[in-house]
Structure 1
């Protein structure tokens, strides 16, 4: 008899290996039986946590740069390499758990159902639910990225800190309100970060991958923002049509504004770095 998986609310949920039994051996018992509800409750009951973290983070960005202004930069090459390797490995593992689950959901449900179904049924518990939860709370330690930038006296651009601040706030709100759209965003972000942090690791150990031009990563990021914006627009339309979707309108609006602003900022970054900057170099050589 097939195992029935239920969370602490008594809701049944399906896992990928139930559709493809051969995959069950790739999952640990802890993952298969993971109950994510406690983490959801914690996020819902503690909305001040991400706000406090963001305030502390912004203070560090300001005062950290002032502190380092007249001091020598720290090298930190080895800790940075290890940090990027850890994040890349973590993201690859998260991608391996969430992307196949999302693809299976898209195989068995319509896009509208994927955008609207209660996440505790469609992806919020078990193995996928564990890695979604890890993704949400990983936005806190990811702030350490900025420590390396500040302590090594590298340029702290607006796109960097704005991205960290808004992602942390949006992810926390999405998880606390149990947004049904979450798996799309989690799977995309894991995938892009797996490659991006892997690239950063190789750069940190001075092994620049010639087979992976940085423009490819930027294109992947822009594609992520395009899809994210489109999904938020689609969810907004469904809600306005009166469809029963397990996502709040304010979350969809916030997500649309966030992804839309990322799209603009990443396109602007790409144009400056990959189109305008090379032209300036050529002009200098010809001058």
Structure 2
């Protein structure tokens, strides 16, 4: 038994040792203190959407192919690097500590890898609002699920980060995984590089699966809320369930309209 436990700890230490850059200054105190600023950012974001659409109404859309390729490529690289690190960490915790510990993620909140990538993850939700600027400036259709999702994900990510919602580990892990594929697809599409025709459907399917799994993890959090590291509240559970529920309905509707109902091809929605 002791040998097995030592092996588990040794395996975890060997696989998830932090790099030097992951041990840089912790931004958590700053992000926790100013998390309410996310509401102001969302308000500004929505106002800029209205102003931007009004500005472009009488103008021809810009091409922006070069900037879009660079933008998507940078987000793809960030998402891939983040996904590799947090997936490695989560899988290691899964095999060394058990499934419940991956759901009750607050036990690992002080780990250097978790602190580094969770801070970048929160900040990336602000950066990703730039996706909308490309849609507006290129005069592409701006659908409800796009701006609703960007707005609420930013708010919920800031809320979950401050309150250390236990399932935040899986939320970050799944989101980075989907985004690594999605932004790679966006890069190829912007560069007009041939890619598998089924890729957009795969991305949307993964987004829907993420909503289902997120709901399940939220429910498990609530069931295990008295467990060490799994403390959660009804408020956490309510907002998690509400958001994942609306995301599931919106993405399922988008999937039906884009891939099941005969019509012109639609782009996969960013998650």
What is the match of residue 82 of structure 1? 70
Please, what is the CA RMSD of the aligned residues? 2.3
What is the match of residue 50 of structure 1? 38
Change (3 A) 1:23 1:259: closer
Give me the whole-angstrom Cα distance separating, in 1, the residues matched to 2:157 and 2:112.
19
Give me the whole-angstrom Cα distance separating, in 2, the residues matched to 1:112 and 1:131.
21
Give me the whole-angstrom Cα distance separating, in 2, the residues matched to 1:23 and 1:161.
36
Are 2:12 and 2:96, in contact at CA under 8 Å, matched by a contact in 1? no
TM-score for the superposition, normalised by structure 2? 0.87
Q: CA offset at residue 158 of structure 1? A: 0.4
Q: CA offset at residue 125 of structure 1? A: 2.8
Give me the whole-angstrom Cα distance separating, in 1, the residues matched to 2:42 and 2:246.
19
What CA deviation, in whole Å up to 9, does each residue of 1:19-61 have, x standing for no partner?
253765xx53232x3463xx22222222331010000001011
Give me the whole-angstrom Cα distance separating, in 2, the residues matched to 1:127 and 1:204.
32
Report the 3-state secondary structure (helix = DSSP H, G, I; strand = E; otherwise coil) of the residue aligned with 1:277: coil
- Picking from 241, 260, 264, the partner of 1:256 is 241
Does residue 28 (structure 1) correspond to residue 14 (structure 2)? The answer is no
State the aligned residue count: 257
Q: Which segment is superposed worse, 105-114 or 59-68?
A: 105-114
Give the alignment of 1:205-216 within 5 angstroms: 205-210=191-196, 213-216=199-202
Change (3 A) 1:246 1:40: farther
Give me the whole-angstrom Cα distance separating, in 1, the residues matched to 2:203 and 2:240.
22
Change (3 A) 1:274 1:114: same
What is the match of residue 56 of structure 2? 68
Q: CA offset at residue 127 of structure 1? A: 2.2
Which stretches in structure 1 are left out of the alignment for 5+ residues? 1-15, 282-287
Q: CA offset at residue 219 of structure 1? A: 0.9
Give the alignment of 1:144-159 within 5 angstroms: 144-159=130-145
What is the match of residue 156 of structure 2? 170
Report the 3-state secondary structure (helix = DSSP H, G, I; strand = E; otherwise coil) of the residue aligned with 1:153: coil
Structure 1 residue runs of 4+, over 4 Å off? none
- Picking from 68, 73, 79, the partner of 1:91 is 79
Give me the whole-angstrom Cα distance separating, in 1, the residues matched to 2:39 and 2:20.
35
Q: CA offset at residue 104 of structure 1? A: 1.2
Are 1:236 and 1:253, in contact at CA under 8 Å, matched by a contact in 2? no
Give me the whole-angstrom Cα distance separating, in 1, the residues matched to 2:100 and 2:251.
28
Are 1:34 and 1:125, in contact at CA under 8 Å, matched by a contact in 2? no
Are 2:15 and 2:88, in contact at CA under 8 Å, matched by a contact in 1? no
Are 1:116 and 1:247, in contact at CA under 8 Å, matched by a contact in 2? no
Q: CA offset at residue 123 of structure 1? A: 4.4
Which stretches in structure 2 are left out of the alignment for 5+ residues? 1-8, 266-271
Q: CA offset at residue 208 of structure 1? A: 3.1
Give me the whole-angstrom Cα distance separating, in 2, the residues matched to 1:154 and 1:276.
21
Are 1:64 and 1:150, in contact at CA under 8 Å, matched by a contact in 2? yes
Change (3 A) 1:238 1:23: closer
What is the match of residue 127 of structure 1? 113
